[in-house]
Structure 1
């Protein structure tokens, strides 16, 4: 009676321990196959120089293929959608080495006043905030910090307060519902304050509300698409996903939309169960809610945390409910908590990370460049800031936020700024 259960547990354990590493293995297998095809073509082309066909083994002329043209390539030679997805994301397992910005800062914005407006309470925002303050000091910026909180009413009040103080630049981070606060942001910009935003998911790099925006709507959708590629590659196109997202955050809704669109485009065998949650329920009611959702959807085999901290308390709740082996757990925006889970190799196998420390420097650099009238450069064609998939095979920091960037990224910025 116990034998089938033991077999099932062994299979699940093997899947959880190796499938995420298989993403890159599948990419290299495909790449080697492509190289093999090129080698065969090269040999065939070399034989074309002969005037006569090569003799066959029995001494006669080599049999020629029938038909007027070359044989059509077999469907077996084409990449599957899962293999193509693995190939697209393979570079994102490597540690980013360059900040990619190249233009030196024209002048230091010494003495410029900056309002740094955040949510307060999110670990990833705290990490970027610390780096922003360190970079701002080097640039000579005078920074005043404000907490916008998690609800639009408090965010509106902060924006109105900032608008009365004649700051040179306001940095607005991760507002939950930018549509509700857009009149105040427009008024802030119209007052003469330059506005740098992160995570509002309003369309466009610049618009009526801000001079420059990181994590605009299209960026959030792109992030969801990248996660979809990992899921498809890891599951070989068979995933059934419980996709957690906090609907109060416009960026989270856009990430989910990008994820759903990419899954629909490349994975007809995949299914998605959207799971909205409130940030206020993290580490409280949320773990029990996830357990209930998995019990109601026993075919779900992947769980995506909307951001790293959303998983707090969930591994313990799944273990207590006997559901730990049901799902492969991953997340966006991992922090130190997620690094510990990944290092353990059981509760979470992967996080799609941005570099929180890099973001602090990125925002400070954007403040300086908007004041000097210079272009603000994206990190790459893939995304505006560095992305890296972290799993057990490439994890470095096991209990702190992933830097997910070359150790000398600060010095690279310093060189462009002429400081340090």
Structure 2
């Protein structure tokens, strides 16, 4: 009975092996197609809106950054003060949110008390600042969110900046799959991965699940998952990474999910383990670019914070004119490796070739 179950006489085993090989090849081929689309000078970015209302000068706008320990917030402040404010002739007050929900809430309340014309928040979920958003709504002050989740019961953001990957939830899922596709393509479907996974927020849960689901389709890949929290950033995350690599001496890839995790523990953990595993990150912040130049990071996907700064401003331009936000901002992703789209200027996030600033400003009738 055992012999017949093996199918040695009818060639069933060979058929099954061939089927598995074909399935594995199709997974690798699909992953390569994804990577190819991200590898051009624009990646998956497309043109921002080319039609819309003209901008109204003299507006008082408050921008609440997530926290200036994050390079994304530093870039946001620079873009608003150095580019958007003078182009639109708006008075811009930037608030360093200090990665603290209390500081975000205080910033929104102060903006309301100052009778701001508009408010922009960065990476701030509605639930964290609900009372402030209710106050802004009562005062009829539009609030545009950059990558923040709106409240489930009653949406309070005037608009949330969009990307070519759909809603915020859809985008988070797409990001996890894209990182998996790069690993699968780069390894020819044979990666051995230590996956440093975060599942603290609704966004990172979707991101992690999409990564896991995509990697599960790679039959020649293996993954050891390690969960980390934002409180681990620093020595604890370094220790977790080092221990995971020591337990898996064959691991040749490390999934870092987000760049803050790379610079706050994962890169140093790989080094402490004495390994040369390929780290795949996401945002391509300037600190990660420097690590990439030094051979310590293999790939990232630029999600420059300068483009959503402009799309948030576009949301306010439309809100001030009594119009609905644009459905598509054109924002996508672009692969960056030491050999693909690697920038000469490592002091800022890489940007696609599309001149989004010029296009937006022409749409607004400024610049």
TM-score, L = length of structure 1: 0.70
Secondary structure of 1:171's partner?
Answer: strand
Structure 2, unaligned runs of 5 or more: 1-17, 163-167
1:100 equivalent to 2:47? Answer yes
Greater C-alpha Rg: 1
Query: Which of 271, 278, 285 pairs up with 1:319?
Result: 271
- CA gap 1:163/1:256 in 2 versus in 1, 3 angstroms: farther
Structure 1 match to 2:363: 416
Post-superposition offset of 1:242:
3.0
Structure 2 match to 1:219: 171
Secondary structure of 1:332's partner?
Answer: coil
**Equivalent-residue separation in structure 2 for 1:132 and 1:198 (angstroms):** 13
Contact 2:146 2:308 survives alignment (8 Å): no
Secondary structure of 1:366's partner?
Answer: helix
Structure 1 match to 2:15: none
- CA gap 1:168/1:399 in 2 versus in 1, 3 angstroms: same
Post-superposition offset of 1:117:
0.8
Post-superposition offset of 1:103:
3.1
- The size of the alignment, in residue pairs, is 337
- CA gap 1:157/1:94 in 2 versus in 1, 3 angstroms: same
Deviations 1:114-164 (A, max 9, x none): 221112210122113311232132112222222333243443343344343
Contact 1:342 1:392 survives alignment (8 Å): yes
Deviations 1:320-352 (A, max 9, x none): 432x23x211101111222122233x3111111
**Equivalent-residue separation in structure 2 for 1:92 and 1:123 (angstroms):** 23
Structure 1 match to 2:254: 303
- CA gap 1:246/1:193 in 2 versus in 1, 3 angstroms: farther
Counting only pairs closer than 5 Å after superposition, residues 17-416 of structure 1 correspond to structure 2 as 80-96=26-42, 100-120=47-67, 121-133=69-81, 134-175=83-124, 178-202=126-150, 208-214=155-161, 216-264=168-216, 266-279=217-230, 281-312=232-263, 314-322=266-274, 324-325=275-276, 327-344=277-294, 346-372=295-321, 373-380=323-330, 385-394=331-340, 395-397=342-344, 399-406=346-353, 408-416=355-363
Secondary structure of 2:281's partner?
Answer: strand
**Equivalent-residue separation in structure 2 for 1:263 and 1:160 (angstroms):** 44
Secondary structure of 1:286's partner?
Answer: helix
Contact 2:159 2:325 survives alignment (8 Å): no
**Equivalent-residue separation in structure 2 for 1:299 and 1:397 (angstroms):** 34
**Equivalent-residue separation in structure 1 for 2:344 and 2:260 (angstroms):** 17
Contact 1:148 1:154 survives alignment (8 Å): yes
Secondary structure of 2:86's partner?
Answer: helix
Deviations 1:61-92 (A, max 9, x none): xxxxxxxxxxxxx9788851111121133111
Deviations 1:50-70 (A, max 9, x none): xxxxxxxxxxxxxxxxxxxxx
